[in-house]
Every structure is written in structure tokens, then in C-alpha cells.
Structure 1
């Protein structure tokens, strides 16, 4: 089975496809000063872009891992996330609180999707 890497860098690739499975690296917002809603929207837009680049879409997302730097932002994050997901195909999901790579980041999302 082939492996295709998208946007490879020195440390990691933003997406890796193995067979019919797409693994995305954790996505974060570019605007570190944005609200949780703004950052979540940016993250989901980045996920959409990577999924399209890898030949799939959010309707094929199998799993999302949501990492919040403050679990108190859970409800606000969900307002944006709930509007984004394909309601006919919601993925499995987990959400945790953890420190992120920069103190101003509020959310990071990791996703795994199918290609078929």
C-alpha cells in the first residue's frame, strides 16, 4: 500500500494518506488572539482544505480529537463545531483539556478520515 504525504516539513506532514485513510496533523489557528469561536472556525477551515487536498471531505471524517487549553471553552467551541460537521455523518470524537504549543492558542483538532 502506498503512502502519500501532504505538506511535508522538517518535523511532520500536515496530512498522510495510507490506503484509504487520511491522517491529519493537529491543526491550530493562525490568529492566536482570536476568540475560541474564531480559532475553531480557522481550524475547521484548515481541516476542510487538507481533506480536499487529500481527496476527501468532512462527510468522511471518522474521528476528531479536540484539545482545548481551557475546558470552559467547550460549549463555545461546540457551537462552531456543530455547525461544521455533516449531520448525516458525525464522526467519533473526544475532547480534552491540555496546554497547547503557544499559550494564546485555544483549540487544536486532530482528524482521521476515509477516502472512499
Structure 2
């Protein structure tokens, strides 16, 4: 089975397609608030899924990391405004120290093609 790397770089690829599954690198966004960062990061999810030939209705699983669980409600509001309500994926949310202090949220997505 072939492997297709989307936006490969020295450290990682933006996404990797193997068979009928696409794995996205963790997506973070710009902005001061959790809502702004969610909107920006989920826009990148949309863009990478489209580059792989799929969309958010085919997301199988999302893992969400928050730098502080006090952001859970704000993140959920942004998520619910974005996610396809007819095709919600399996999802987990955890608190974690992210790559840089400015990041409040990161999304790791796996989807079907």
C-alpha cells in the first residue's frame, strides 16, 4: 500500500495518507483567545483534509490537547460550531503542555478518504 506525504518537511509532514486513511499532524492556531486559536487550527484541518481528498464529515477520531482544562467550555463552543453534527468523530480531550506557551489548543485528526 502506498504512502503519500502532504507538505513534507524536515521534522514532519502536515498529513500522511496510507490506504484510505489520512493522519494529520497536530494543528495549532494563531490568536490570543482559545476561540481564535480553535478557528484558525480547524481551518488548517479543513485545508489539509481537502489536500488529502476528504473533509470533516469523514473524521474518525480527534484528540484535543488543551494547555489548561479551564478552556474546555470555550474550546467545545468553537468545536461544536465547526464539527459536522451528523458525523461527529470519536474524541478525547486532555490537558498537556504544548510546544510553545502561546498555544492553548492543539487538534490531532485521523480521517477516512
Same fold (TM over 0.5): yes
Partner of 1:113: 111
* RMSD across aligned positions (CA): 0.6
Aligned to 2:60, the other structure's residue is in SS state strand
Aligned to 2:110, the other structure's residue is in SS state strand
Number of aligned residues? 113
2:57 matches 1:59: yes
Any gaps of 5 or more consecutive residues in structure 2?
A: none
In the TM superposition, what is the alpha-carbon distance from 1:104 to its structure 2 partner? 1.1
In the TM superposition, what is the alpha-carbon distance from 1:19 to its structure 2 partner? 0.3
Provide TM-score, normalisation by structure 2.
0.98
Aligned to 1:11, the other structure's residue is in SS state coil
Partner of 1:26: 26
Partner of 1:47: 45
Of 72, 75, 93, the residue aligned with 1:74 is: 72
The one-character-per-residue Cα deviations of 1:47-106 (angstroms, maximum 9, x if unpaired) are: 000000000000000000000001000000000101111111100000000000001100
Provide TM-score, normalisation by structure 1.
0.96
Aligned to 2:35, the other structure's residue is in SS state helix
Partner of 1:84: 82
Any gaps of 5 or more consecutive residues in structure 1?
A: none
